[in-house]
Amino acid sequence: MNYRHKKNELGLENYFNKLSKFPILGLLLIGISAIVIRLIFFQNDIIFASDNLRYFTYAIDVSLTGKSLTASLPNDGWPLFLSIFFKFLDSKNFLDYMNLQSYLTIIFSTITIIPLYVLAKKFVRTSFALICTVLFVFEPRIIQNSLTGATDPLFILLIVTSLSLIVQKNKYIICSAFVTVSLASVVRVEGLFLIPALCLIFFLRFRITKKSFLQFIIFLSIAFLILLPFGIQRIENSGNDFLIGRIILESQSFSEKTQNDSNDIFLKIGESVYIFIGFLGKLMIPYLGIFVPIGIILFLKEKSIQKFLLIIPISFMILPSLYAFTVPALDSRYLFPILPILCIFGAYSCMKFYEKLKWKKEVIGIIFVIVIVSSGLFFDYKNNDIEKQKDFLKLSSEINKKTDVILYVNSPINPYLKAIQLLELKEFPITSSHWYNDEKTKTIKYDSIQDFFLEIKKNEITHIVFDENIDNPIILKQIFDNYDEYENLNKIFDSHDNGFNYKIEIFEIK
């Protein structure tokens, strides 16, 4: 019995030894599996909304005219990069362009495993560096995010690449880490927070000497020269570089909200930390919560100075999310950039358990089963949002057909009112000025029911869309709970009467 167990254990050891000798094959298999899973869940008839639609229209404008025709984007690196690919796409169907945008994010999300593997190898053995990539690339939120054409996959790829480069020995490679993080900052301003982290890591590894300080100045100058033309172009377009300028504006906004009162500041910070912990806890579902917390504890217990190569960057990368949660911008996407490092902690805990437990073969098998099964079940649950998006698109089409100028209310359908206009286009590609209509909705201010109807008439609003999920002010609720008491309101559409699960009502102003 003992002999058989020992034989199985040795067989598994030999398997990992072989895998360690051919990591490229392991990465290739993981990458192919990740792409296949993404393509299985990918739907090529989904129309972008909100920020992803803005990236799309920006990229289309740049590909056709060389500049944006809509309002400047704070983070225009992704659509600028995307416009290069749009120039070479020969199609008259806007969905082909949107699908290309999604295919690129699928690719970026998948190839992130390459720099992540290189980075993870500094902290865990080769076979567990491969497990680290599995933990990341099959994370259901990362899969879902990669299907939407969002900016996150490219940003995360650049961030992980810069971290994998800064831990190398060659100074030329380390220089490229500053180049990469500069490009990441163009994609999303949060990348700027990693620059001081890279500086600290550099001096931690090479100490402060005349030679290292001179090299540091050169690296930092290269980063500045990369950011400079993007900053100048943004200033010319909008008056703000959306880099340092944006950080200053956000700092001023925070000061205005708290009025520099120490009690308000600490209260805001406390609320932000509380929200951060909540989102981080949710991010641990479905499987990271099993591996990551223990991995962090074991990692921090290490006496090696090597651990600061992860602690420093994750500390700086958390700062933008903490600020976002003071707004509060309640979105788990702000934590996505730290996911790769969390996966390294997870792989570290797997390695430590593997070294101590007798049933090694079973443990590794259980890890893979937990990751694949829980990820699939969780993603299937999250995938219900896609069906809701399809309903939103259909309802947006009904709204566009039946209304002229509508009162703006805070509704999840609003982002789709612009997206659905793409279906009405007779030719494509065309610039956003031909279809991106901002005049469909209007906002008003009112303090009473009488003021409400006066403002409606004054602003020539013809329709009101009442949504089940809007933040219902008391006045609106009073009106629409008793709409039949008002002669100038006529209900012309009820989504429940037309077979929709989501509830909206359209009222015409007589």
The SS3 call for residue 463 is: strand
Chain centre distance of CA 157: 12
Domains in the chain: boundaries: 24-382, 385-509
The pLDDT of residue 382: 63
pTM, rounded to two decimals = 0.88
> What pLDDT is attached to residue 35?
94
Q: Calculate the alpha carbon distances from 128 to 10, 118, 373 in Å.
A: 17, 12, 19
How far, CA to CA in Å, does 315 sit from each of 194, 311, 343? 9, 6, 15
How many Å apart are CA 291 and CA 371, to the nearest integer? Answer: 11
Say how far apart CA 325 and CA 328 lie, in whole Å.
4
pLDDT attached to residue 7: 44
Residues making up the chain, counted from first to last? 510
- What is the pLDDT, as a whole number, of residue 6? 45
* pLDDT < 50 regions, the chain: 1-12
Whether 16 contacts 350, CB under 8 Å: no
Strand order in the sheet with 441-442: 441-442, 406-407, 463-467, 504-509, 489-494
- Provide the pLDDT for residue 9: 45
Q: Find residue 318's DSSP bridge partners.
A: none
